[in-house]
Amino acid sequence: MKFGIVGTNFVSDFFMKAASYVDEIEVVGVCSGRKENAINFSKKYNIENVYDDYISMLDDGLIEAIYIATPNVMHCEMTIEALKRKVPVFCEKPFGTNDYEVKKMVEASRSNNTYLHDGIVPLYTENFQIVKDNLHKIGKIRKVVFSFCKYSSRYDAYLRGENPTTFRRELANGSMMDLGVYIL
Protein backbone atom coordinates (compact mmCIF):
# COMPACT_ATOMS: atom_id res chain seq x y z
CA MET A 1 0.00 0.00 0.00
CA LYS A 2 1.39 3.37 -1.01
CA PHE A 3 1.25 5.85 1.87
CA GLY A 4 1.57 9.58 2.00
CA ILE A 5 2.63 11.23 5.26
CA VAL A 6 1.39 14.62 6.42
CA GLY A 7 3.61 15.97 9.19
CA THR A 8 7.33 15.53 9.71
CA ASN A 9 7.71 15.54 13.48
CA PHE A 10 9.18 12.85 15.73
CA VAL A 11 6.05 10.70 15.62
CA SER A 12 6.43 10.47 11.83
CA ASP A 13 9.88 9.01 12.47
CA PHE A 14 8.20 6.30 14.59
CA PHE A 15 5.78 5.62 11.74
CA MET A 16 8.65 5.28 9.27
CA LYS A 17 10.44 2.83 11.56
CA ALA A 18 7.28 0.73 11.96
CA ALA A 19 6.56 0.89 8.22
CA SER A 20 10.05 -0.43 7.50
CA TYR A 21 9.00 -3.75 9.06
CA VAL A 22 5.99 -4.15 6.77
CA ASP A 23 6.84 -5.15 3.21
CA GLU A 24 3.39 -4.11 2.00
CA ILE A 25 3.89 -0.46 3.00
CA GLU A 26 5.71 1.95 0.73
CA VAL A 27 5.85 5.64 1.63
CA VAL A 28 5.71 7.55 -1.66
CA GLY A 29 4.94 11.10 -0.53
CA VAL A 30 5.55 13.47 2.35
CA CYS A 31 3.90 16.79 3.11
CA SER A 32 4.69 19.51 5.60
CA GLY A 33 3.45 23.05 6.04
CA ARG A 34 7.09 24.00 5.66
CA LYS A 35 8.39 22.56 2.41
CA GLU A 36 11.94 22.61 3.79
CA ASN A 37 10.85 20.14 6.50
CA ALA A 38 9.26 17.88 3.88
CA ILE A 39 12.43 18.00 1.76
CA ASN A 40 14.62 17.10 4.73
CA PHE A 41 12.28 14.26 5.73
CA SER A 42 12.20 12.95 2.16
CA LYS A 43 16.00 12.88 2.02
CA LYS A 44 16.21 11.13 5.38
CA TYR A 45 13.85 8.34 4.26
CA ASN A 46 14.35 8.40 0.48
CA ILE A 47 10.76 9.49 -0.27
CA GLU A 48 10.37 10.56 -3.87
CA ASN A 49 7.47 13.04 -3.75
CA VAL A 50 7.46 16.19 -1.62
CA TYR A 51 4.49 18.49 -0.99
CA ASP A 52 3.73 21.61 1.02
CA ASP A 53 -0.02 21.18 0.47
CA TYR A 54 -1.81 18.00 1.53
CA ILE A 55 -4.64 18.53 -0.97
CA SER A 56 -2.10 18.32 -3.80
CA MET A 57 -0.79 15.07 -2.38
CA LEU A 58 -4.32 13.66 -2.12
CA ASP A 59 -5.20 14.74 -5.66
CA ASP A 60 -1.98 13.51 -7.31
CA GLY A 61 -3.31 9.96 -7.29
CA LEU A 62 0.00 8.52 -6.10
CA ILE A 63 -1.08 7.50 -2.61
CA GLU A 64 -3.44 4.73 -1.55
CA ALA A 65 -3.54 5.72 2.14
CA ILE A 66 -2.52 8.67 4.27
CA TYR A 67 -0.86 8.97 7.66
CA ILE A 68 -1.77 12.22 9.45
CA ALA A 69 0.68 13.41 12.12
CA THR A 70 -0.02 17.12 12.19
CA PRO A 71 -0.98 19.42 15.05
CA ASN A 72 -4.23 18.13 16.57
CA VAL A 73 -6.30 21.06 15.38
CA MET A 74 -5.70 19.98 11.76
CA HIS A 75 -6.74 16.32 12.11
CA CYS A 76 -10.46 16.70 11.43
CA GLU A 77 -10.26 18.74 8.22
CA MET A 78 -7.41 16.69 6.74
CA THR A 79 -9.08 13.40 7.60
CA ILE A 80 -12.40 14.40 6.06
CA GLU A 81 -10.72 15.67 2.88
CA ALA A 82 -8.91 12.34 2.49
CA LEU A 83 -12.03 10.29 3.20
CA LYS A 84 -14.05 12.32 0.66
CA ARG A 85 -11.48 11.16 -1.91
CA LYS A 86 -11.82 7.56 -0.66
CA VAL A 87 -8.26 7.57 0.68
CA PRO A 88 -7.97 5.44 3.84
CA VAL A 89 -6.69 7.38 6.86
CA PHE A 90 -4.39 6.47 9.73
CA CYS A 91 -4.64 9.54 11.99
CA GLU A 92 -2.54 10.13 15.08
CA LYS A 93 -4.32 10.60 18.36
CA PRO A 94 -6.35 12.44 19.29
CA PHE A 95 -8.66 12.11 16.30
CA GLY A 96 -10.21 15.50 16.88
CA THR A 97 -10.23 18.28 19.42
CA ASN A 98 -13.76 17.46 20.61
CA ASP A 99 -16.52 14.89 20.17
CA TYR A 100 -18.20 16.90 17.39
CA GLU A 101 -15.09 16.66 15.21
CA VAL A 102 -14.69 12.95 15.90
CA LYS A 103 -18.32 12.30 14.98
CA LYS A 104 -17.82 14.19 11.69
CA MET A 105 -14.73 12.11 10.93
CA VAL A 106 -16.48 8.82 11.67
CA GLU A 107 -19.48 9.88 9.57
CA ALA A 108 -17.16 10.76 6.67
CA SER A 109 -15.59 7.32 6.95
CA ARG A 110 -18.96 5.58 6.94
CA SER A 111 -20.54 7.65 4.18
CA ASN A 112 -17.52 7.14 1.92
CA ASN A 113 -17.07 3.50 2.94
CA THR A 114 -13.41 4.27 3.60
CA TYR A 115 -11.16 3.04 6.41
CA LEU A 116 -10.34 5.34 9.34
CA HIS A 117 -7.95 4.31 12.10
CA ASP A 118 -6.43 6.13 15.05
CA GLY A 119 -2.88 6.02 16.35
CA ILE A 120 -3.70 5.12 19.94
CA VAL A 121 -2.02 1.83 20.75
CA PRO A 122 -1.76 1.20 24.50
CA LEU A 123 -3.39 -2.23 24.31
CA TYR A 124 -0.51 -3.40 22.14
CA THR A 125 2.33 -1.99 24.19
CA GLU A 126 4.55 -4.19 26.31
CA ASN A 127 3.04 -3.22 29.66
CA PHE A 128 -0.47 -4.21 28.60
CA GLN A 129 0.77 -7.46 27.09
CA ILE A 130 2.44 -8.35 30.41
CA VAL A 131 -0.84 -7.73 32.25
CA LYS A 132 -2.78 -9.79 29.71
CA ASP A 133 -0.30 -12.67 29.91
CA ASN A 134 -0.61 -12.76 33.70
CA LEU A 135 -4.36 -12.34 34.17
CA HIS A 136 -4.71 -16.02 35.03
CA LYS A 137 -2.42 -15.48 38.06
CA ILE A 138 -4.46 -12.53 39.35
CA GLY A 139 -7.91 -14.08 39.52
CA LYS A 140 -11.14 -12.10 39.41
CA ILE A 141 -10.51 -8.41 38.84
CA ARG A 142 -12.71 -6.04 40.80
CA LYS A 143 -11.02 -2.73 40.17
CA VAL A 144 -8.22 -1.45 37.97
CA VAL A 145 -6.42 1.86 38.31
CA PHE A 146 -3.82 2.88 35.75
CA SER A 147 -1.68 5.98 36.03
CA PHE A 148 -0.72 7.54 32.72
CA CYS A 149 1.56 10.24 34.03
CA LYS A 150 4.91 11.23 32.73
CA TYR A 151 7.19 14.19 32.51
CA SER A 152 6.84 15.48 28.98
CA SER A 153 9.88 14.71 26.90
CA ARG A 154 9.26 18.07 25.21
CA TYR A 155 8.77 20.26 28.29
CA ASP A 156 12.42 21.23 28.79
CA ALA A 157 12.69 22.14 25.10
CA TYR A 158 9.51 24.19 25.47
CA LEU A 159 11.00 26.08 28.43
CA ARG A 160 14.08 26.84 26.31
CA GLY A 161 11.82 28.06 23.48
CA GLU A 162 13.00 25.32 21.11
CA ASN A 163 9.59 23.71 20.55
CA PRO A 164 7.02 26.50 20.55
CA THR A 165 4.11 24.46 19.14
CA THR A 166 4.12 21.74 21.79
CA PHE A 167 1.84 23.41 24.29
CA ARG A 168 0.01 26.00 22.18
CA ARG A 169 -3.72 26.00 22.92
CA GLU A 170 -4.69 27.23 19.44
CA LEU A 171 -3.20 24.03 17.99
CA ALA A 172 -5.09 21.87 20.52
CA ASN A 173 -1.80 20.64 21.94
CA GLY A 174 -0.66 20.02 25.49
CA SER A 175 -0.72 17.19 27.97
CA MET A 176 -4.50 16.69 28.09
CA MET A 177 -4.75 16.27 24.33
CA ASP A 178 -1.57 14.20 24.19
CA LEU A 179 -2.14 11.84 27.13
CA GLY A 180 -5.74 12.45 28.16
CA VAL A 181 -7.08 10.24 25.37
CA TYR A 182 -5.67 7.16 27.10
CA ILE A 183 -8.09 7.40 30.00
CA LEU A 184 -11.22 7.62 27.86
2-118 sits in which CATH class? Answer: alpha beta
Residue-by-residue pLDDT tens, the chain, 184 positions = 999 999 999 899 999 999 999 999 999 999 999 999 999 999 999 999 999 999 999 999 999 999 999 988 999 999 999 999 999 999 998 888 889 999 999 999 999 999 999 887 666 677 778 888 888 898 888 887 777 677 777 788 888 887 667 677 667 666 666 666 665 6
pLDDT for the residue 40? 98
Query: What are the domain boundaries of the chain?
Result: 2-118, 123-183
> pTM for the complete prediction?
0.78
The b-or-e profile of 164-173 (16+ CB within 10 A means b, else e) is eebbeeebbb
Q: Which residues of 74-86 are buried (b: 16+ CB within 10 A; e: fewer)?
A: bbbebbbbbbeee
Q: How high is the pLDDT of residue 124? A: 63
